[in-house]
Structure 1
Amino acid sequence: MPLQDYMQIISVDDHLIEHPRVFADRLPRKFLDAGPRIVEDEQRRHVWHMEDQVFPYIGLNAVAGKTPEEFGMEPLRFDDMIPGCYDPVERVKDMDLDGIQAACCFPSFPGFGGRVFMRAKDPELGLACVRAWNDFSIDEWSASAPDRFVPLALLPLWDLDEAVAELRRVAAKGARTVSFPDSPVPLGLPSFHDDHWGPLWDVLEETGVPVSLHFGSGSFVPGFNFSAAALSPNPPAPGQAPPATSFALYATNLMWSTVDLLFSGQLQKHPGLKFMLSEGGIGWLPYIAERADWVWGRHRYYQPIDFDTRPSELLRKHFWGCYIDDQFGLTNRHAIGVDRICVEIDYPHSDSMWPNSRKVIAESLLDVPDDEAHQIVELNARDVFDFPRS
């Protein structure tokens, strides 16, 4: 069988845990004292320190290798997790065990969209941290196995000129996507509806780099406080919703992001923009397309809404989704668009099926024709990320 006929699985949503020297090896000397560093506290936990802030739990839910009965808001130390969480060479071994060819890995300590650096008291330090993380992601993590890792970068979004400059820099270095907050507003940034982002959208179109919107990257998840959860592994108090409530609602973040963008007017101004909806499922996409069209049909007459282009047309053109376990979405794949569906492994988080991902994905596609399955597990991701086989 020709090589191109074999299906290789590409995960559009995995995570890495930053090792202790990511920033120490890359920050200018003047930032080393205030910059991110791992400290062992009095309880023998490994915690990140940056400026005068402490960030407990080095790898929230880095639970690869544990059973659901062992899950919790951990680990507390690097030796509480398997090396594939923080070592790219060991990660490739874990991917081989799992039957996964390539993965796009989001950050952990900085937040999925870099919110920790956005909130730095010293913006110059925040910018240096963004650059350091990107150099680590591209030059160390991804370069360790170029055909196995899809390089991802962060942007200093609090300064648009610097964000544009960093986008050009990382695109030239080989970044295949950038992580952007699923909603910038909770971070104090302009909304998707604001023309403020126009210069950044222009360069994303020019370079062909897609935007990855990871749920929760805007620091808001319904009913869940990541900061509070990181401070205490204890169960919620009586009368408080457990984190499971938020986990079950994770797709609602990306529903919000998608509809926000569909009605923002920016997609008409920037027809080359591409958005990957990372870790949001796919079963809701046909409903959102139908609902958005219904609202558009009844309410565009008195609002500043595009009069000619249906939201469903914009959704079909600009967005890709992914799934871990979403049989409803696969059953309705033609309503979504087979060429708009990808898969995610989510290693080392608690949603991941590692080390049985290939088996689980294969079972989910039993009733899907081979050519469509090939699109879903590999070809769509290669297309949107411009990540060819080596």
Structure 2
Amino acid sequence: MAGSNSALKIDELGAPTYGGPIFDADTHIQEQDFSFFERYLPEKFQKDWLPARKYGPDGEFGMFIGEMKVENSEANPDNIIPQPGRLKDWLRAIATGEQLGEGIKPTVDMYEREARLAKLDEFNVEACIMFVGHFVSAFGQIGMMAEKLGSEGACAVFHAWNQYLVEEWSLNVDDRIYPTPVLALYDLDWAVAEAKWLVENGVRVVVMPMGPVDGKAPADPYFDPLWQVLNDAGVLVTFHVSEANFMHPLIRAWGEQPLQPRRSGQTAWQWMFAYSEIPVMMTLASLVYWNLFERFPNLKVASVENGCEWLPRFLYKMDKMRGMARSGWWPMGQLKERPSTIFKRHCFVVAYPEDDIARVVADLGGDASCLLMGSDYPHAEGVPTPHDFVEEGCKGLTPKQVEQVMYSNGRRMLPKGRTGIVG
């Protein structure tokens, strides 16, 4: 039984052990190929917008959107991927520039529904959120192209992905796999219609690009028709690490170039300030300060694969800056509660296994209630199995905190059932 004391132990060396169910808040599809885009993307968009892995005019193989290469993706003609769960090797490769060693072909559980369910049984995972696979590398390219070519094609590409999930996975696989269709704010009418269609098809979780669109914060009341649909259906909104287009002008202002290969072309400055935690902090703070959760109290939001070590300082600073701006401009009115209180009620954060989670929890006053585990399966930068997160990430936590991170926080964020609305 979830939460049973028999599942929670500390071994004789003081390391946590855990034998209960697991809610894995960060897993991925690993697409075998991109041929499904040819089936679901209308013909009129395929010349300029079709995602594909192919050789370009320069003879180099890569991911393309139409004829535009996605420079920050890594692809090879044999679709060989790094072995899953090579976190320490992946970190070493990042630091040294070494290769990860011999790769593998994607296994069937990485791209087919029934095989993935069997893998969950093997891993003792009750439920997981399943994110975009290699296609996530294209988010930044699609956003850039939407600015230049218009949003219609970009929305069509995202709908093609969403239709693939609906037709070939379903959006809620037995309350065990929750695939993530994509919503974007490029076109409000499209976003509202797409959200309603997703709700009709049983969606539980969506993923959205981080940041503002066309000079509007995501919680600007202009976008309220979309938030209303998601709020009423209890849909969880996630922000997974990906290219944050709104950071590109800042990157260029510092004499650097965005959309570079992640491991070989992104500078240390970009890793520090333009990727992962800074963009998601800006996005989440904007949602809170713009009073989104007072208007839409059923909304839940999760940061995924952006780590958690930033969280204590972030909550402290949000509260402090509320005080600094008390007499300033509040676009949707003053907050009635501390920002940190609002955040903890509505927001969740997936920790990296290499984070010092025990210190984070201590800095939060012992409160582990908004932290989640994520294995990142089948990516190399994760743990070999979801259970390995206990040993890698949960040292120093109490048995109750281990259980919260490994299971009950995720299940509270995304309860079983159709709507996911909680009090």
Contact 1:155 1:179 in 2 (8 A): yes
1:332 aligns with 2:362: yes
The more displaced of 131-140 and 80-89 is 80-89
Match of 1:106 in 2: 131
What displacement does 1:134 show? 0.8
- 1:243 and 1:4 map into 2 onto residues whose CA distance is 41
CA–CA distance in 1 between the matches of 2:363 and 2:413? 18
Q: 1:343: Cα distance to partner?
A: 0.9
1:64 aligns to 2:83 (yes or no): yes
Match of residue 159 from structure 1: 187
RCO comparison, higher one (Cα < 8 Å, 6+): 2
Instruction: Give the aligned partner of residue 261 of structure 2.
Output: 229
Once residues 152 and 73 of structure 1 are traced to their aligned partners in structure 2, the CA distance between those partners, rounded to angstroms, is 32
Of residues 44-53 and 374-383 in structure 1, the stretch that sits farther from structure 2 once superposed is: 44-53
Q: 1:234 to 1:111 in 2, by over 3 A?
A: closer
Superposition deviation, residue 352 in structure 1: 0.8
In the alignment, what sits opposite 2:294? 268
- The answer for unaligned runs of 5 or more in structure 2 is 5-18, 419-423
The aligned amino acid for 1:39 is K
Residue deviations 1:255-313 (CA, integer Å, cap 9, x gap)? 22222222223333222221111123333323222222222224302332516322122
Query: Partner of 1:375 in structure 2?
Result: 404
From 36, 46, 68, the equivalent of 1:22 is 36
Q: Partner amino acid for 1:21?
A: S
How far apart in 1 are the matches of 2:294 and 2:155?
31
Task: Return the letter of the residue paired with 2:106.
Answer: I
Comparing 33-42 with 251-260, which one deviates more in the overlay?
33-42
Preserved contact between residue 13 and residue 346 of structure 1 (Cα < 8 Å): yes
Q: Which residue of 1 aligns with 2:63?
A: 48
Partner Cα separation in structure 1 for residue 217 and residue 171 of structure 2: 34
Q: 1:97 to 1:148 in 2, by over 3 A?
A: same
- Of residues 192, 202, 216, the one that matches 1:174 is 202
Question: 2:318 matched to 1:289?
Answer: no
Q: Whole-Å Cα distance in 2 between the matches of residues 125 and 331 of structure 1?
A: 44
SS, match of residue 242 in structure 2: coil
Structure-to-structure mapping, 1:350-361, within 5 angstroms: 350-353=380-383, 355-361=384-390
The alpha carbon displacement at 1:319 in A equals: 0.9
Structure 1 length normalisation: TM-score?
0.79
Task: Report the CA distance shift for 1:159/1:110 in structure 2 as closer, same or farther (over 3 A).
Answer: farther
Alignment RMSD: 3.8
The aligned runs of 1:1-12 (5 Å cut-off) are: 2=1, 5=4, 7-12=20-25
Aligned length: 376
* 1:69-80 alignment runs, 5 A limit: none
Identity of aligned pairs, percent?
22
Specify every segment of 5 or more residues in structure 1 that has no aligned partner in the other structure, as ranges: none
Structure 2 counterparts to residues 338-349 of structure 1, below 5 A:
338-349=368-379
Is the contact between residue 109 and residue 119 of structure 2 (CA under 8 Å) also seen in structure 1?
no
- Letter of the structure 2 residue corresponding to residue 8 of structure 1: P
Deviation at 1:164, TM superposition (A): 0.7
Distance in 1 between the 2:344 and 2:308 partners? 13
For the Cα contact (< 8 Å) 1:275–1:320, is it kept in 2?
yes
The answer to whether the 8 A contact 2:23-2:128 is kept is: yes
User: Deviation at 1:97?
Assistant: 5.8
How far apart, in 1, do the equivalents of 2:314 and 2:223 lie? 24
The match for 1:386 is 415
Q: Which residue of 1 aligns with 2:12?
A: none
Contact 2:56–2:69 (Cα < 8 Å) also in 1: no
**AA in 2 matched with 1:263:** Y
Q: Which is further off, 94-103 or 156-165?
A: 94-103
State the secondary structure of the residue aligned to 1:339: coil
Q: Residue type of the partner of 1:377?
A: M
Change (3 A) 1:156 1:260: closer
* 8 Å Cα contact 2:230-2:299 kept in structure 1: yes
Contact 2:305 2:350 in 1 (8 A): yes
The separation in 2 between residues aligned to 1:225 and 1:83, in whole angstroms, is: 35
CA shift in 2, pair 1:80/1:155, >3 Å:
same
Per mean C-alpha deviation after superposition, the further-off stretch among 134-143 and 108-117 is 108-117
Give CA deviations for 1:233-271 in whole Å, capped at 9, x if unaligned.
Answer: 7567xxx53876569x73233222222222223333222
Q: Which residue of 2 aligns with 1:88?
A: 112
1:216 aligned counterpart, secondary structure:
coil
Counterpart code for 2:362: N
What CA distance in whole angstroms lies between the structure 2 residues aligned with 1:315 and 1:197?
20
Q: Does 1:309 align with 2:334?
A: no
User: How far 1:93 moved relative to its partner?
Assistant: 6.0
